A and B are shown apart, each in its own frame.
Chain A
Amino acid sequence: MMHRRTLLAAGTAAAVMPAPLSRARAQANTIKIGVLNDQSGNYSYIAGLNGVIMAQVAAQEFGNRGFNVEILSADHQNKPDVGANIARQWLDRDGVDMILDVPTSSIGLAVNGICREKNKAYINVGSATADLTGSQCSPNTAHWVYDTYMLAKSTGGAMVRAGGDSWFFITADYAFGHALERDTTTFVRAAGGRVMGGVRYPFPATTDFSSFIVQAQASRAKVIGLANAGQDTTNCIKQIAEFGLTRRGTKVAALLMFIADVHALGLDVAQGLVMTESFYWDMNDRTRTFTQRVRPRLNNGQVPNMVTAGNYSGTLHYLKAVADMGVAAAKASGVDVINRMKAMPTEDDAFGTGTIRPDGRRIIPSFLFEVKSPAESRAPWDYLKLLQTTPAEEAFRPLAEGGCSLVRS
């Protein structure tokens, strides 16, 4: 009996007291952002927890403009089923309004479908596949800092122009690797180059690449194109150096590489590699101030990279759109938020000014860098020198060529 009385009392209290009501109101007035990425595996050191922290930094800097922001995070372990389950749970049960980051293209594409089905907003930062704004584009999605087309055009194009006209690909056997190989092949062929061969290795179960490296050597290609990322890329570069290919003149095109990879490899191994980014901490005064401001918050002494800075920039732009249209409207429709985001120019310390196209592609310049030699590097994390800038309007695939159903001619 005691139990039932307590329950009754609690019920009465709840009806009389204003506290639970204000809590309910607070829920309705809180925007929830879910950062979903790899926090323990192959890609975890690119963004991982630092990606979550950068979203929190953006929310704090944005401040309270009449609504609260809550950041959730989870580890998808590079498994599409795990990632899709978390996304569904967040949207169905936990009231998450926007999903952010989601590296590993197979999972990035799965979450793309789920957000569309539930009409929530989706800002993809970590996935590379250009299909997110091409054949699989969605009105609920913005693709934020880079994609396979942009990498292929910048890094691939530069390698061919420098005389690397015959290629051998070492490709991670899933959506991302396939897209990167496909887009790079297009540029190599368009520039008159040839693809001599390639291997697709099981992802993420491969750590020894020596067999593929020997095959690449036997093909006599001038360039080995690495259509992979994270530890696979650093393992490949290390082992290519171990087998002495770089010493004998074979070029390595690390088609997707982050500054965290350069740091993990060390300049003596990484020097001379070219890589493409849309953000580098040491670009200008604005990015340097930004880096000084946020770096104390990051783990493992990292500087912000293209993906973590992208999480910052994406969160900021999303919150601006929410403030602009009101929390209730933003919670009601993910398509409306993304449309509002497309209607306003993006503006932040990391990437400067940009725009979002109808297909969801954010348009910003891409930069081709070369990794410095140990002698050229003057300070910690002074790793890259700028070779070339591709202006925003040329950096990405032309709107009409993507095959996106949202684009009407």
Chain B
Amino acid sequence: MKRVVFCGVGALGSNAVVACRNLEARLVLVDFDRVESKNCLSQAFVKPSIGKNKADALKLQLSSFWGVKAESFGVRVDEGNVATLCGSADLVVDAFDNAKSRRVLSAWAKSAGKPLVHAAVSADGTFGLVRWDGRFAADEEPSAGAATCEGGEHLPLIALVASTLARAVQDYVERGARRDSMVALSGVTTTSE
């Protein structure tokens, strides 16, 4: 069974994991952060998960709701542990919310020859990307005080990007396909085969 490591299970990551629950693959969840009440607005967490580590909480939800077994690691990914966390992966998924962590994953995946797919969404909740490493460059976060995608009003777009990411994971696990997509409010567009 293939092993898919999701790095970051916030808005895009948690919703993508839920959409991957029927996949014939071992799901591995990595996130150091804890569930806050505001996260329930746009992430796949339920109220009883508030206060728990996100990776652990999602693992528990997958088991409780659907009987899906997953692995969880409640740690921050950095240069020192990325090989340990992702070394046995058949596919690594980047759904981090910061450029620094995305670059750590990219650099390691290139050096290790691991397939890596990225997903990212704009601060105003109108646009998102799913791109394979090599065609992806991490964008820096906006300055303090700028808009973020934390509010619940962006859930439809977040769900669309997360579903597109889940489909990219599925296509890779089942057929080895690496397809990029661009997601706007007007729909999903494939931008490479």
Whether chains A and B associate is no
